[in-house]
Structure 1
Amino acid sequence: MPPAPRAWWTALPASLAVLTTTAYSRTARYYFNAVLYIALMGVCSILGVVYPLLFSIVGHRYNTNYAVARSFYALAGTLIGIKITIVEGEEYLQQRPSIILGNHQSFLDILYLGRMFPSGSVIMAKKELRWMPLLGQFMMLGGNVFIDRKSRTSAIQTTKAAGEQMRKHKLALFAFPEGTRSHSAKPMLLPFKKGIFHLAIETQLPIIPLVCENYHHLYDSKTRFDGGEIRIAVLPPVSTKGLTVADTDALIKRVYDAMLERLLRFGSEGNTDALSARTLGVVYPLVFGLFGQRYNTNHIVARAFYKLAGTLIGYNFKVEGAEHLNTRPSIIVGNHQSFLDILYLGRMFPPGSVIMAKKELKWMPLLGQFMTLSGTLFIDRKSRASAIKTMNEAGARMRKNNLALFAFPEGTRSHAVLPELLPFKKGVFHLAIQTQLPIVPVVCENYHRLYDSKTRFEGGDLRLAVLPPISTEGMTNEDTDKLINTVHDAMLRQLVQFDRENDSEDVQRTLHPSQRPLHRVRGLAGLFARLVGDGSKSQHDRTVRRVKQEEERLRAKAQNGTSPSDYGLVSASHS
C-alpha cells in the first residue's frame, strides 16, 4: 500500500483531540457545535441567495424557503446529531392557504423549521432581520413578510398585503406568535402577539398550531449543545370562519391553550435521550479505530450520506422487514443496479457492519483510506488463493466482533431496465457455509424509472425489503449452488413483486416526467427538471423502445421452462 499523504496523518491527532475533548467536556462540545451550527447557517444563507434567483426564473419563488430549510436540516441535523421527529399531524401541513404557528424557544428552532417546513410557504419575521448580511437577502428573495412591530400602521399594511399574497399564490405563512425566544428550562409559552391572529380573522384562513417539545436538556444558550431527538406535534387546524375582530382574544386563548396543553404533555411523556458523545459524526471516520469502535464507522457515514443526498436529491427509502438486520453475526447480500445503491446502503446499513469490496477501491484517494480504517474487507477477484485467505480472515473477524458483513453477490452493476438479477458469484456463499452464518437478503426495487446512467436522475419513493434470514447450518461446499439458487430466487421474486405493485398501484410513475403530478418530483434537481422539462417526447419514446428490447432479451434468455411472464414481468410500454 502506498504511504498515506502527510496531511492525512496530521489530521488524525487533531481529530483525536477534538473528539476526546468534545466527548468528555460539555463546554468544548457546546462551543464546537455552536460554531458548526452558525457556520452551516452561513452556508445555507448563501444557498438562499442563489436558490430564489433560480426558482424565480421558473416561477416557483415560494419554494425557496422549503429548499433552504430542508438543506439546513439535512446538514446541521446530521453533523450535530439532532433528529427532529414529527409524532403526529404531519398531514395538516399540506393545507393551503393557511397560517402555521409554532412556539419559539431559541435559535435552534430554525432546525425544526427545516424538518417541517412545507413547500409553498413564507415566513413572517421582524423587519430587523431584513438587514442581516446574506440572511436578509435570502429572506427578501424568498418572498418572506417583514413586519415593523413598532409601527401599528405599517404592521396593518403589511398584514393586508400578506393576506392578498397568500390568497393569490395559495401559500402557507409561518410565524412565531410569542414574538421572541423564551429560553425556558421548563415547558412554557410566552403571551401571544395579536398581529398574526388579526391576519387569520381578516383572511378567514385556518390556523395550524405546531408544538416543539422543550429541548433545554439538549440546548441552552450558554452551557449546553448536545445531539438527540426532538419531537414536534402538528395540531388540527383551528377554523376562523365567521370570526370578527371582536373574537381575537378568544381565538388567541383557544390556540394558546391547545399548544400549552400539548407542550406540557410532551413534558409528562419524558425527554428523549441526548446523544452527547455522538454529536461529531463528521470526525468519526478518522478516529473510530482509535477508540475501539471502528466497526460503527460505516453505519454513521452511510446514514449521514443518506440524509444529505436523500434530502437534497429527493429520495426516500421505505424499509420492510428491518428487524432482520439485527441478526448477528450474519452476511447481508443486496442487489446491485448502479452507483445509486450507496443511497440504499445509507438507509439500511446497521451498526457493527463491514463491507466486502473489490481491492481496487483500496487505492482510491480518501475513499480507500476511509474504507481501510472502517475495517472493509478487500478481495482480489483475480487471485483465488488471496480470495480464500481474505474469506478466512473475514469469518474470524465476524465471529470475534459479532459483525454483519455486506456484499453485492452479483459482483457488478446490472443497470437493469426491468426487474433482473445477474448471476451470483460464489465467494460470499462459500464464506457463509464455511462460517455457518445466516444470509440476510436485501432487495431494492428496480428504479430505472427514476435513474439511468445516461438520461434520467429524479427523486422519488423507493422500497427496500429485508427478507428473513436463510440458515446455512449443516451445509457443506457441495450445497453452494443450491444455496445460491435459494437466495437468488427469493430476491428475484421480491424484485418482481415490487414491479407488480408499481404497475397496479401507481401507473403514473411510468409516465413521461412532463406528465407526472408535481408531488411525484422530489429534491432540488427533480423540481427544476419538472418545471423546465427534461427533454422531448422522443426521449421518452427511446426509453420505451429500450424497455421493450430489454424485455425481449430476458424472454430469449429464459431457460428450464421459466419465462419472465412466470415471474409476472409487465412491459412498461403501456406508459
Structure 2
Amino acid sequence: MTLLRSLAYQVFLIASVALFGITIAIAGRFVPYRTVGRLGRAWGLSNLFALKHLCGLNYRITGLEHLPATTAIVLCKHQSAWETIALRGLFPSDQTWVLKRELLRIPILGSALRQFVPIAIDRSAGRKAVKQLLKDGAISLKDGRWVMIFPEGTRVAAGTRIPYSIGGALLAERTGYPVVPVAHNAGVFWGRRSLIKRPGTIELVIGEVIASKGRTAQEINQKVEQWIETTVSSLAQSAQAPL
C-alpha cells in the first residue's frame, strides 16, 4: 500500500511540476516577481497537501515566531526532496535559491527556475562559485528576497552528517543580514534517493535568528551547524509506520 500511495504522489508531483512550471515560465516574463513567488508557494502548498492525503505524510512546524520581519538567509538541513517543497510553500514567497547549475538544463523545470532568479553555481568551481554566491546573494537580499541555502551542499542520509560549507555564513558576514537555521527529520520518512514516502509526521523546527553582525563567518557557520545537528538528533529517527 505504501508503494502504491508513493507512486500516486509521484504522478502528482510530475504533473504539478509540468503545470506550474509551464505557467511560471510563461507568466514570469510578464508579471512582477512577487506574483511568480506566490505561484511557487502555491506549488509547494499543493504538494504538501498531496503528500498528506495520498501518502499520509504530514508535517508539524515549531518556531514560526522566530522568523524575522526583515529579509534573511535561511540555512537548512538537507536530507530529502521534501524540504525543497516545504520551504517553498511555508516560508515567505520572495525567495532566491542557491542550486546546482545543472537543474537549469532540465526541460520545463529549468525554464521555471530561471524566473525565480536563482544563484545557479558550478559546484566544481571552488572559489569562483563562492564569489558568485557572495555577489548574487547580496543583490538578492538587497532586492528583498530571502536567500535559501543548504550548507551541506547535497542531501545527506538521516542519521549521518558531513561538514557544512561556509558560503552561506560568508554571505551573512559580508552583508550583515541575519541567519535563520532550520532543522527537520524529513529523511526518516522520505529518503534521499527513495521513491517511498512513509506515513507519519515530519518535524520542522525553525531556530532563533542568529545575528551576523560582529561575528566571523567561521563563528556563524559553527553556531548554525551545532544548532541544526543538535536539534536533528533530538527529533524522531524512525518512521511512525512501517512499509
TM category, shorter:
0.7 to 0.9
Cα 1:304–1:456 shift into 2, 3 Å: closer
Write the distance in 2 (CA, Å) between the matches of 1:398 and 1:366: 26
Write the distance in 1 (CA, Å) between the matches of 2:167 and 2:175: 12
Could you say what secondary structure the match of 2:152 adopts? coil
Write the distance in 1 (CA, Å) between the matches of 2:102 and 2:22: 25
Aligned to 1:292: 32
Could you say what secondary structure the match of 1:291 adopts? coil
Q: Partner amino acid for 2:30?
A: L
Q: Partner amino acid for 2:221?
A: I
Contact persistence 1:380–1:387 (CA under 8 A): no
Displacement of 1:347 in angstroms is: 4.6
Q: 1:351 pairs with 93, 116, 123, which one? A: 93
Cα 1:379–1:319 shift into 2, 3 Å: same
Contact persistence 2:183–2:205 (CA under 8 A): yes
Alignment of 1:66-215 (within 5 A): none
Cα 1:339–1:284 shift into 2, 3 Å: closer
Cα shift readout 1:189-209 (whole Å, capped 9, x = no counterpart): xxxxxxxxxxxxxxxxxxxxx
Could you say what secondary structure the match of 2:79 adopts? coil
Query: Is 1:483–2:220 an aligned residue pair?
Result: yes
Aligned to 1:493: 230
Contact persistence 1:306–1:346 (CA under 8 A): no
Could you say what secondary structure the match of 2:30 adopts? helix
TM-score of the superposed pair, with normalisation by structure 1 = 0.36
Write the distance in 1 (CA, Å) between the matches of 2:212 and 2:124: 27
Structure 2 unaligned blocks of 5 or more: none
Contact persistence 1:302–1:349 (CA under 8 A): no
Write the distance in 2 (CA, Å) between the matches of 1:289 and 1:404: 21
Cα 1:323–1:298 shift into 2, 3 Å: farther
Cα shift readout 1:418-472 (whole Å, capped 9, x = no counterpart): 2x43210111111111111111011112542x34345853221111000011000
Alignment of 1:554-569 (within 5 A): none
Could you say what secondary structure the match of 2:204 adopts? strand
Contact persistence 1:281–1:301 (CA under 8 A): no
Q: Between the two proteins, what is the percent identity of the paired residues? A: 21
Displacement of 1:303 in angstroms is: 2.0
Aligned to 1:228: none
Q: 1:398 pairs with 122, 137, 141, which one? A: 141
Query: Is 1:362–2:99 an aligned residue pair?
Result: no
Displacement of 1:284 in angstroms is: 4.7
Q: Partner amino acid for 1:336?
A: H
Structure 1 unaligned blocks of 5 or more: 1-53, 55-66, 79-279, 514-533, 535-575
Q: 1:385 pairs with 128, 141, 165, which one? A: 128
Aligned to 1:457: 197
Alignment of 1:483-562 (within 5 A): 483-499=220-236, 509=240, 513=242, 534=243
**Could you say what the CA RMSD is over the residues aligned between the two structures, in angstroms?**
3.1
Could you say what secondary structure the match of 2:92 adopts? coil
Greater displacement, 316-325 / 328-337? 316-325
Write the distance in 2 (CA, Å) between the matches of 1:426 and 1:315: 32
Write the distance in 1 (CA, Å) between the matches of 2:21 and 2:148: 21
Contact persistence 2:72–2:179 (CA under 8 A): yes
Write the distance in 1 (CA, Å) between the matches of 2:146 and 2:195: 36
Q: Partner amino acid for 2:137?
A: A
Write the distance in 2 (CA, Å) between the matches of 1:347 and 1:389: 26
Query: Is 1:308–2:50 an aligned residue pair?
Result: yes
Could you say what secondary structure the match of 2:202 adopts? strand
Write the distance in 1 (CA, Å) between the matches of 2:200 and 2:174: 40
Contact persistence 1:299–1:353 (CA under 8 A): no
Structure 1 or 2, whichever has the larger Rg, is 1
Could you say what secondary structure the match of 1:473 adopts? coil
Contact persistence 2:99–2:121 (CA under 8 A): yes
